[in-house]
Amino acid sequence: MTAFREQMIAQRQPPDQRRGVIGWLRTNLFAGPINSIISLIVIAIAIRLLWPVIDWAFIEADWVGNSREACTSDGACWVFISARWNQIVYGFYPEALRWRVDIVFAIFAALIAWLIVPKLPAKKSVGIFALIGFPIVSWILLLGGMFGLDHVPTRLWGGLMLTLTIAAVGIVGSLPIGVLLALGRRSKMPLVKGVCVVFIEFWRGVPLITVLFMASVMLPLFVPAQMEFDKLLRALIGIMLFWSAYMAEVVRGGLQAIPKGQSEAGAALGLGYWQRMGLIVLPQALKLVIPGIVNTFISLFKDTSLVLIIGLFDVLAIIQAGLTDSDWLGFAIEGYVFAALIFWVFCFSMSRYSQYIENRLNTGHK
């Protein structure tokens, strides 16, 4: 007689209490008395807060119509948004010329999609087009005044289109300046280093508002009187300089993480400074700090809303202006919630993308 079994016992399921919905509930929500009380309180808060919001935003809301008379119920009046939809997207851009904005939007969306979907080929040439070709094309299309396109002055720009323009110019402009500043700050030449340190610390030490004020009241004083400075251009210069300082600090973090041996090996191969930086150090450093760069992009995107204060009409300013329209008084919550939704969607997707990239590029560097 053998003392051991010759066949495996069939696996048994864990006890009922430990699996399925009940098991999950027991481990995650009701493990112990304190935990259970917390769960109940959270559920109560969620129901108290969430239900009125859902009720207001969806169930009781008015969706169709074109004047405030359409809003008869107690809920949200989304008619306010749909009636102003064109303004929110295009600002005061002439109606007949909006197809130009649409084309820019379409190219922009296509480029973004191409760049973020990992499987698509020719990333490099698409990237170069996005950084150099696309800005020129959109500048020609949006501003006009050449190739037979009507000129549209920037004071007519507004809404989502202006927000995206400011964000894109800020992002494309501040990254290269930031890289140069970061390299300068690590330079061995005392004067170069000093200038970069002062520049970076100055912009990082002051609020963006004062920078925008400076750009709008002081920049015209700095240039010869006959030179006209566009209001949007002034704001863009301020935003670019301001964010390049933040970008420089992010890039510097990446540069510091690259071992000195990399650059020294490059020098041993006879590479000059710019070759070492461009071919060896920067590609590694920038890859390391992609999450930091994207986070700076997110902050930049959020802070484009500050141009409201110097009188440009971005998404928030257009909605804010719409709230004071005497035909549509009293829809402040709808307006702000919608503006918040726009910004939130952009920022949240950027932060998710940055996390995804971080995981994908996780090459073991710490």
Query: Given the rule CB under 8 A, which residues bind another protein?
Result: 28-29, 31, 35, 38-39, 42-43, 45-46, 188-192, 195, 201-202, 204-210, 213-214, 217-218, 220-225, 298, 302-303, 305-306, 308-309, 316, 320, 323, 332-333, 336, 339-340, 343-344, 347-348, 351
Query: From CA 339, how far away is CA 361, in angstroms rounded?
Result: 33
Q: Which is nearer to another protein, 103 or 332 (CB)?
A: 332
User: Which residues make beta-bridge pairs with 159?
Assistant: 314
Q: Which helix (H) or strand (E) holds 63?
A: none
127-135 contacts: CB < 8 A, separation 24 or more?
131/172, 134/107, 134/108, 135/168, 135/169, 135/172
CB closer to another protein, 44 vs 109: 44
Both structure tokens of 301: 């995107």
Provide the 10 A C-beta neighbour count for residue 231: 16
Pick between residue 55 and residue 131 the one whose CB is nearest to another protein.
55
Contact status, residue 196 vs residue 187, Cβ threshold 8 Å: yes
Name the residue among 294, 288, 229, 219 with its Cα closest to residue 253: 288
Shortest distance in whole angstroms from residue 27 CB to another protein: 8
| Nearest distance in Å: CB 75, another protein | 15
Which CB atom, from 284 or from 295, has the smaller least distance to another protein?
295
For the bound state, the minimum distance from the C-beta of residue 180 to another protein, rounded and expressed in Å, comes to 12
Q: How many CA atoms lie within 13 A of 298 on its CB side?
A: 18
Least gap, CB of 218 to another protein (angstroms):
5
- Whichever of 146 and 225 has its CB closer to another protein, that residue is 225
219 and 287 Cβ atoms separated by less than 8 Å:
no
Measured from the CB atom, is 26 or 98 closer to another protein?
A: 26
CB of 230 to another protein, least distance (A): 17
CB 133 within 8 A of CB 78: no
CB 77 within 8 A of CB 61: yes
Least Å distance, CB 34 to another protein, is 9
- We find the least distance from the C-beta atom of residue 346 to another protein, in angstroms, to be 8
CB of 67 to another protein, least distance (A): 22
CA 200 to centroid of chain Cα atoms: 22
Of 129 and 336, the one with the shorter C-beta distance to another protein is 336
Q: Which of 287, 298, 291, 282 is nearest to 176 (CA)?
A: 282
Question: What is the Cα–Cα distance from 318 to 72, expressed in whole angstroms?
Answer: 25
Closer to another protein by Cβ: residue 114 or 336: 336
| CA distances for 258 relative to 73, 253, 273, 292, 339, angstroms | 61, 9, 15, 16, 41
